[in-house]
Amino acid sequence: MLSGKRILDLSWVLGGPFAGQLLAQLGAEVIKVEALDGDYARRVPPLLDSGESPFFLSVNRGKQSIALDLKSPEGKQALNDLVRESDAVIYGFAPSVPQRLGLDFETLSQINPRIVVGQIIGLHDKDEWADAPAFDLMLQAMSGVMSITGEEGGKPVRVGYQAADLVGGLYLALGTAAALAKALATGKGEQVQISLLDAQLAMLTWQAQGWLSGGPLPKATGARHAMIAPSDTYLAKDGKWLALAPTGEPFWIKLCETMGRADLPQDPRFATGAARIQNIDALTQELSDAIGTRSSTEWLALFKQARVPAAVVQNVEEALSHPLTAARDMVQDVARTDSQETVRMLGNPFKFSGMPDLPFPPPFAQDTVDVLQRVAGYSSDRIEALQRAGAIRVRQSVSV
């Protein structure tokens, strides 16, 4: 775990903040450093009755919030004083911004030789790509992900959640954690840069390697797996879709027996994995006809008893209400920090023994005074002077 590590999260919107939340879920103290008008994500609609954005809440749990004007000398000095007492800084600025603001690795290393800097960018840090806009849909399109998503021959579609931003955040958290391990071992800091495009290309894994090795160009195949059959969705009698993934001959044979079609594995068209891929349309028809004779509930009961890999395609409400979700503590009632109310939120996927639950996402600038006093050692007079100079905001002075 990252207990005892302090991370300054200067990122905003989604990918970088998701990385910061992951690092908090791994045990780090994460201080969210916001601009004087707050993270834009706080205002992404639709807003709750409380005025908060679920978009912001989803990636900022377990952090503290301070507000600094990094373009002012006073605000920049305050950040430097925090860097001196921290272990890592993460941000998602355009490549040209860190050096202009004095946030590049070389500058921060002079303040704290042990500092780790984690940077997330869109495309590249040089030439024409350095300042090009890079949004999630663009990145899914550029990386080839949309070409393998959706129905065969249909309109390209994106992954249902913001895969480019969130996967980039995963890589940023992982890279930052690795750099922290190096800094702990050597006493010297490290810089890690994550390109959202690089991260999407890396996730192509076997599709990319197959083409690089001379194989066919990957394409969209709907829910059907391009290399394993059967592995697809089939419509049950009650109108619900069943996902079947009987990978390997024992599971394939057990599926057929459970469906009352023990003859299928003997059919030369379906006798081997390669044969099933070659005759996928015929196989799909056979399985669709069989699954259509019973409800999804009936099939799940039979498949569970026979240990056949199967699941109903659930919507988000069904997934979050599933008993397994509750058993894994993946939906929690989290107490707000400023009232007696609780808010239902996603839980921590990292299950460490003795790991405390993360608190509610921070109100804007809630911790400015505490962090500057506790971490940087600022006096009340100095904080008041910074506030008069407009270099900081505190919770009482602004509402977002």
Q: Annotated catalytic sites, by residue?
A: 225
Helix (H, G, I), strand (E, B) or coil at 119: strand
Q: Sign of dihedral through CA atoms 265, 269, 275, 279?
A: negative
Residue ranges of the alpha helices (H) in the chain? 15-25, 54-57, 73-84, 97-101, 105-111, 136-142, 163-186, 196-202, 205-212, 249-259, 273-278, 280-291, 296-306, 316-321, 323-327, 368-374, 380-388
320: β partners: none
Looking up tokens 């397994």 gives 324
Q: How many separate helices (H) and strands (E) can be counted in the chain? A: 17, 12
| Burial class of 284 by CB neighbour count within 10 A (0 to 12, 13 to 18, 19+) | middle
Contact 159, 68 (CB under 8 A): no
Looking up tokens 């993946």 gives 330
DSSP annotation string for 34-81 = E-TT--GGGGPSSPPTTS--HHHHTT-TTEEEEEE-TTSHHHHHHHHH
